[in-house]
Structure 1
Amino acid sequence: MAGWALCMALLLAALAGTEGETRYQKFLRQHVDYPKTTSIAAHRYCEIMLMRKGVTVTGQPCKPTNTFVNAPSWRVVAACSQTPDAAGFYTTPTALSLTTCRLRGGNTRPPCSYRAQQLQHHVRVACLNGLPVHLAGTHAPAG
């Protein structure tokens, strides 16, 4: 009986889609891919992941830039325990493995074409209740 209830709960959650997700869950969906999906051809990673994660949606403009953190989510959450900068953003204490997707060409509507770049950067986030809710940018390690 408990298995059936769990199955129904998972089915209902899947049918609900992104409607009931928290801001942190939305952040994870849009910005965390760990372990990094490797079953995709490298040159198609951005297009497929942005569609799969619901960032690129038919009928909506292409997102100019999106960054995926290819590290465990707890590494990004660690930023929220740091001291915020003057603008109120928090930075991860260590550089993380990232894939930055930048819109290529003049496509403003799907199908969108992106250029992927692999980086080791610190991630700057806005936090709410100790959890990241917005990726504000990235920067290279000092030195």
Structure 2
Amino acid sequence: MSPSGYTLCLLLLVAAVWLWLPCCEGKRFRRFLRKHQDYPKSNYGDDNNYCNNVMPLKGMRCRRRNTFIHATQQQLRFICSPEGQIQNGITTSRAIFSITTCKRKRRGWFRRQCRYKGKSKTRKIQVLCRKGRPVRFLSHL
């Protein structure tokens, strides 16, 4: 292959990576929303019923635990703005959020028999941010 052929291949590779990266960042944010956002909070009565219904709806059957944040996309993005408190790569919200934490109580013989204990709270949250968007929920304070 001639030097210009190598240059062309390298240029095409760089262009492909440049086009691919924004796509993946958007996917990570959408995945974060699918796993952790429930706004407005779905009404299933008490917190246990909430978790027993929402966990399977969000595709998280028999997962050990998950936290749902009852906030808009704009409020969640705001955490990753300069308003967030960043320490060691972890961003802590300045705002307090309404959240519901679901913990698996027991696991049935079949995966669909998992039951959850839910607990609603208002807390600051910690997330991992990429390109101004939360991509991973870490904890609540």
Structure 1 length as normaliser, TM-score? Answer: 0.71
**Which amino acid in structure 1 is aligned with residue 86 of structure 2?**
P
Using the TM superposition, give the Cα deviation of residue 63 of structure 1 relative to its aligned residue in structure 2, in angstroms: 1.3
For residues 57-96 of structure 1, the aligned pairs below 5 Å read 62-81=62-81, 82-86=84-88, 88-96=89-97
The 1:106–1:55 alpha-carbon spacing in structure 2 relative to 1, beyond 3 Å, is: closer
Using the TM superposition, give the Cα deviation of residue 106 of structure 1 relative to its aligned residue in structure 2, in angstroms: 4.8
Deviations along 1:64-109, one digit per CA (max 9) or x if unpaired, are 11000112222221111224212x1111111100011011135594
Identity value in percent: 30
Range with bigger deviation, 106-115 or 74-83 = 106-115
Name the residue aligned to 1:47. 52
Structure 1 gap segments, 5+ residues each = 1-20, 57-61
Specify the SS of the correspondent of 2:86. coil
Using the TM superposition, give the Cα deviation of residue 111 of structure 1 relative to its aligned residue in structure 2, in angstroms: 2.0
Asked if the contact 1:104–1:114 (Cα under 8 Å) also holds between the matched residues in 2, the reply is yes
Asked if the contact 1:47–1:113 (Cα under 8 Å) also holds between the matched residues in 2, the reply is yes
CA RMSD in angstroms comes to 1.8
Q: For 1:107 and 1:133, locate their aligned partners in 2 and report how far apart those are by CA, in whole Å.
A: 31
For residues 1-143 of structure 1, the aligned pairs below 5 Å read 22-38=27-43, 40-42=44-46, 43-56=48-61, 62-81=62-81, 82-86=84-88, 88-107=89-108, 109-139=111-141
Deviations along 1:37-64, one digit per CA (max 9) or x if unpaired, are 11x23231112111111122xxxxx211
Structure 2 gap segments, 5+ residues each = 1-25
Q: For 1:130 and 1:107, locate their aligned partners in 2 and report how far apart those are by CA, in whole Å.
A: 40
